[in-house]
């Protein structure tokens, strides 16, 4: 018999099975979503507003509403005003990045309905809009400024701001969103099939019902967990091959039925034959001697 490949399986709770032979995992009860989507959304909005506040501060410095005159006032990178502007914009960039990730994670826990396509799109890409709000106005004010920054410093800061805006906008896009209807269907399908654990790899956006699936068979490291945990890991689609095998009864709770039925039938036949033999076979006794 061919020896099965050994590999490492990392479960969603952080535990690892190193160099363990590939084998079927016993079904486990479904786990609820970890964390609160509401809390993450509140955190995202708080950080977005903090980023916008940093932007407003920088604009007020540029327009002279806040006076931060230092020893150097030539608009160079060493100018105290410019240093405060750059510091505020760096903080703006960091908090907006974190906010975008919190928002996307909240959508995995509590996704929006896709009944309204426009609302669904805006909900999943709100990070893009907030990123533009956090950077586009300051870019406009910066390009219009004629007093605070000299041309060399203005060019340096403008390039940095455009880079910040693009990075934040890209991180705010949800390239693989899941809807409330899709998530409910996937959870119900796994529960009906008696699948306690599903598997996914380091890269990609799909999870698999079977760790021996041809698409992940050669992966050295697998991650295991419930469907809920797979979705929270941004694996929002089920492998089509695994889904087809599930429908065909090759994996899941239905896969064990033929074997169990065959064994039970064999035992039943043997029992019946034994009973017939005992019933039909007459008891042989010796005739009395004459």
Nearest to 221 by CA among 18, 50, 1, 72: 18
User: Looking at residue 7, what is its pLDDT?
Assistant: 67
pLDDT tens-digit series, residues 62-101: 887 887 765 546 666 667 888 888 999 999 999 999 999 9
Task: For residues 16-24, give the mean pLDDT.
Answer: 48
pLDDT of residue 221: 86
CA distance 177 to 174: 6
DSSP-derived pairing of the beta strands 6-11 and 16-21: antiparallel
Specify the pairing of strand 16-21 against strand 198-200: unpaired
At 174-232, the pLDDT tens digits run 988 999 999 999 999 888 888 878 999 988 889 999 988 999 988 888 899 999 999 99
DSSP codes of every residue in 142-193: HHH-SSSS-HHHHHHHHHHHHHHHHHHHHHH--SS---HHHHHHHHHHHHHT
Q: Read off the DSSP letter of residue 19.
A: E
Quote the pLDDT of residue 18.
Answer: 53
Q: Which of 188, 186, 192, 176 is nearest to 208 (CA)?
A: 186
Candidates 135, 151, 133, 127; CA nearest to 58 is 135
Under a CB-based contact definition with an 8 Å cutoff, are residues 197 and 31 in contact?
no
Q: Which residue has the tokens 């941004």?
A: 234
CB of 206 closer than 8 Å to CB of 174: no
Query: How sure is the predictor about 5, in pLDDT bands with cuts at 50, 70 and 90?
Result: low
Please give the C-alpha separations between residue 100 and each of 39, 44, 129, 247, in angstroms, as whole numbers.
Answer: 14, 7, 10, 37
5/3 Cα distance (integer angstroms): 7
Structure tokens at 10: 């990392």
pLDDT digits (tens, 9 = 90+) for 157-189: 899 999 999 999 999 999 889 999 999 999 998
The structure's pTM equals 0.73
Straight-line distance from the first to the last Cα atom of the chain, in angstroms, rounded to the nearest whole number: 67
Burial of 96 (0-12, 13-18, 19+ CB in 10 A): buried
Rounded distance, CA 23 to CA 211, Å? 8
Which residues lie below 8 Å from residue 67, measured CB to CB, with a gap of 6+? none
């Amino acid at each position: 018999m061919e020896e099965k490949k050994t590999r490492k399986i990392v479960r969603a709770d952080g535990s690892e099975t190193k160099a363990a032979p590939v084998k079927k995992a016993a079904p486990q009860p479904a786990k609820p979503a970890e964390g609160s989507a509401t809390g993450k959304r509140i955190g995202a909005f708080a950080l977005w507003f903090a980023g916008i506040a940093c932007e407003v501060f920088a604009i007020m410095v540029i327009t002279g509403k806040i006076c931060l005159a230092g020893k150097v006032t030539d608009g160079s990178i060493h100018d105290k005003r410019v240093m405060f502007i750059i510091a505020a914009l760096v903080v703006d960039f960091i908090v907006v990045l974190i906010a975008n990730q919190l928002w996307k994670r909240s959508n995995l826990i509590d996704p929006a309905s896709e009944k309204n396509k426009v609302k669904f799109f805006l909900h999943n890409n709100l990070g893009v809009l907030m990123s533009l709000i956090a950077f586009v106005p300051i870019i406009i004010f910066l390009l219009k400024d004629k007093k605070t920054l000299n041309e060399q410093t203005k060019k340096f800061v403008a390039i940095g701001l455009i880079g910040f805006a693009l990075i934040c906008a890209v991180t705010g896009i949800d390239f693989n969103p899941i809807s409330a209807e899709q998530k409910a269907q996937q959870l119900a399908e796994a529960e009906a099939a008696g699948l306690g654990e599903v598997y996914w790899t380091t890269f990609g956006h799909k999870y698999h019902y079977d760790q021996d699936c041809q698409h992940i068979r050669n992966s050295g490291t697998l991650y295991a967990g419930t469907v809920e945990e797979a979705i929270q890991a941004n694996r929002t689609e089920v492998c089509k091959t695994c889904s087809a095998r599930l429908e065909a009864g090759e994996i899941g709770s239905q896969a064990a039925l033929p074997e169990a039925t065959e064994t039970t039938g064999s035992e039943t036949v043997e029992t019946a034959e034994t009973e017939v033999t005992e019933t039909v076979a007459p008891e042989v006794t010796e005739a009395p001697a004459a």
